[in-house]
Every structure is written in structure tokens, then in C-alpha cells.
Chains A and B, each alone.
Chain A
Amino acid sequence: MHVPCRSALALVVALATIPAHAQQCAGFDDVLATSAFCPNVTWMKNRAITLGCSGTSYCPDELVSRLAMAAFMKRLGDVATPQVLSAEATGSAIASGATQELCVSAEVPAKGYGRTAVGEATLSYDTSGAVDVALRIVRSTNGGAFVPVHTGILPEATDGSRNHEHVIAPVVQLVADGAAAYRFALAVTPGAGQTITGWSCQLLMTVQNAIE
């Protein structure tokens, strides 16, 4: 074999090898990216429903044992079930101009995939005079400070002639980064020179795992 022919063969071998590596499906070297089932395998891999039969193999032609099936179905169930965060609280005074987080939820742990959250909060409060109140649903990421999850605030005013004013914070929907842990709360800020003398709040958030 003369030199140009050997070079051509080497090139063919190289070209054949590189695309094969690049066509791995979800990191599994035994499923091609062009397989009609690759999107399904990727979906399961991204949600930790499958970990592979080894670190880099999926074993697509192997039968599924009933024990392995149990693991697959439980992991799918965990992914498909929304996490509900519910909080109720009552309290006394909220000082003038101070922002206080009420009804702080439990923490939603980090996941390997995106999520969406919807929810709402209500506040009933007592005043001893005219009060302007700003309400926002806020979120803490990875244990950090609470920040608003939407830019607007919900203002509420009372002329002081009534107690137990009731306000509904708006329903919010947001995309949550899968790599972070979150808590939610209702932030309340009485206006300058004004105080809330008593309050009760309710919070209900539903965190749904992203389906795509």
C-alpha cells in the first residue's frame, strides 16, 4: 500500500471514530444521539430517573428486572409530584417602616432540573390608625436574603376605622433554577409613621418540576 492510500485510510478511520463519540445520547456510549428513543433516555437521565447500568452505558437491549422497575417508577413518581408549601402564622406588632417576612415556608431542596412555582398569600391585619401597607411574595435562594419574586407591590390602605383588613397577595409564577434551594414568604411593610398591631397570614405555594 503506498503512502497516499494509507493516509486516506487513516483519515477514514479518524472520521468514523470522532462522530461516533459525538453522537452519544445523554452521555451513554451505547445509545446514539440519532436514536428515536434518545429524547426519552435524555429525559430520564436529566431527572435522575436512570443512572445508567454503568457510568457511561445505558444497556438499551437489556431486560428490566422488577426490582429495577421499582426504582424507575419511584424516581418518576418523585419527579412528577409537586411539592406543596403551606404556612400559617399570627403575630403582634410590625413596626413603622419595617419590612417583615411572614409565613416563611419550608425549604424546597435543590434539584437537577428546572421547576416552576405558583402560589399566593393572604394577610389579615389590625391597625390602630390609618395605615398604608405594601405586600410582596418574596423568595430566598440558598439561604440568602429574601428578595421579591415580582417587581410590583400590592398596596393596601385603611383609614383606621376598621380592624382585620384582608389582603390577597397576587398569584405568582416563576421559573426556579434547578440547582438552587428556595423558601418563600410574604413580605409586609407598613408605611412611615404607621404600625400594624396584629396580623395573621396564610401562604400556599406549589412547586412543580419542569416537564421539559
Chain B
Amino acid sequence: MSRPLRTLLVVLALTAAPAASAAPCSGFTDVIDTDALCPSVDWLKNRAITTGCSSATLFCPTQPVIRLSMAAFMNRLGRALVAGQHGGALSGASVDLDAPPAVLCNAGFGADPSPLTRAARAVATVSAKINGSATYAVTLVQSTDGGVTWTPLNAVPVSVGGSDRFSTVRAVKGDIPVAPNSSPDFGVRIARVAGSSGTGGLTNVVCTVLAMLDQRTGTSFPF
């Protein structure tokens, strides 16, 4: 083997080895992905708490934190940790179970988009006076297009018989994934169960929805 070729091979081996064993952590070339603190750096990057230091590909891990930077970090951390919550309510309405509205009441997060995957919890309660006999379902629904279309999350089936009976139904659900940059709305729908018989509708309807949106999640939706 010629000397220039041996030299070239040595150079190639030296340059290839670090690249294979030291991948950037979360896009930062000055923190390797095998560093014990890489998950922490990744955690901050994913929540836009850090955007890097002198460039988007550098984290400057050994630089001290000045008080001004600390203010930015604390501000971003605070926003990342505070769960948004919204509520919606309706009182006194009547509902025709054969032609129910798409959603009875809803709570929206339209002004709170995020580039992150988030998780929501929702609690809905419907109280109504039943006039007649019917089998109906109270369903938590979610919309990601500003309330144009609604997707069922879960349903609570209820039957009532007789007349002038009050009923309260509650539906709950957690760990509802919210896609990045979406504007979620959560609502409650009430409708006759398909194929069921019965007459009458609902009056004195009181509906409440409380939805909480976590900026980050625990173990269910790692990102």
C-alpha cells in the first residue's frame, strides 16, 4: 500500500469514528446524543424553551447562564408548564332527539395553538328533563377545524322511561392527543342511539364542558 493511500485511510478512519459514535443531541452539534443530560436538552428544545445559543445548531453547554437569559428561560418554561383551560356552557335549551344539534356546548382553544404535541382532558355534564321515553347517548366530541366537523371521543349511553324525569349524564376522558399547530375544540353531543325507539325530547337542558390542555404530557405522548 502506498504511503499517500495509507495516510488517506487513516484520515478517513479518524474522521468517520467520531461521527458514528457522537451524533448531535437534538440538532445541537456541541452536545452528543450519548450525554447523560441529552434528554434534558432535548426536552427544552422540543418545548422551544431553548433555541440554541450563537446559532440554531449550537447549545453552548459549558457557557454559564446570565441573568438575562435566565429570565427568557424561566418565561418559556412557565408557558410550557401552565395548562390552558377553557369552559363552555348552555342553559335552558330544548333538544329534539331526532334532529339534535351537532354540538350542544363546547370549549375551544382556538387562540392557543402550539407547535408541540399536547394532551387534553375533558369533562362534560348534561342535565335535562326527559319528556317521554328514549335511549340516547351523551358523547364527548373534538373538532380541529374550528367547529366545522366533530369527531367522537367516547360515548355514554343512557335510557330513560316515563315522563318528566330529570337525568344527569357525565362523560370524562383524558390523554386526548392534540396534534401540533391544531386549534382544538371540545364539545358534547346528545343524540338518540341509532335503532332505538322512543318518543319525546329534552327540555331544561344544562350543558357544561371543561377542557384542560397540557402543554406537555407525562408518559403517554413522549416527544
Contacts and interface: CB of A to CB of B under 8 A. Distances in A.
B214 to A, nearest CB: 7
A122 B170 contact: yes
Contacts of B172: 86, 120-122, 202-204
Nearest to A67: B61
Given A69-B73, A74-B40, A164 B158 contact: yes
Contact of B43 (A74, A122, A164): A74
A66 B59 contact: yes
B31 interface: yes
Interface residues of A, number: 38
Contacts of B167: 166
Contacts of A88: 154, 173
A68 B65 CA distance: 10
B206 interface: no
A64 B65 contact: yes
A103 B65 CA distance: 47
Interface residues of B, number: 52
Interface in B82-111: 83
Given A86-B175, A202-B173, A204-B123, A122 B64 contact: no
Contacts of A164: 135, 157-159
B157 A124 contact: yes
Interface string B16-34: 0000000000000001000
A70 B170 contact: no
B9 interface: no
Nearest to A109: B219
Interface string B68-86: 0010010001001101000
B174 interface: yes
B121 interface: yes
A90 to B, nearest CB: 10
Interface in B133-183: 135, 154, 156-162, 167-175
A81 B214 contact: yes
16 contacts: A63-B65, A65-B62, A66-B61, A67-B31, A68-B37, A69-B70, A73-B73, A74-B39, A74-B43, A74-B44, A81-B217, A84-B217, A161-B162, A164-B158, A164-B159, A166-B156
Q: Which A-B residue pairs are the 6 nearest by beta carbons?
A: A86-B174, A67-B61, A63-B64, A74-B40, A204-B172, A70-B40
Interface of A: 63-71, 73-77, 80-86, 88, 120-122, 124, 161-166, 168, 200, 202-204, 206
Given A66-B50, A166-B170, 6 more contacts: A65-B64, A66-B59, A74-B43, A84-B220, A163-B135, A204-B172
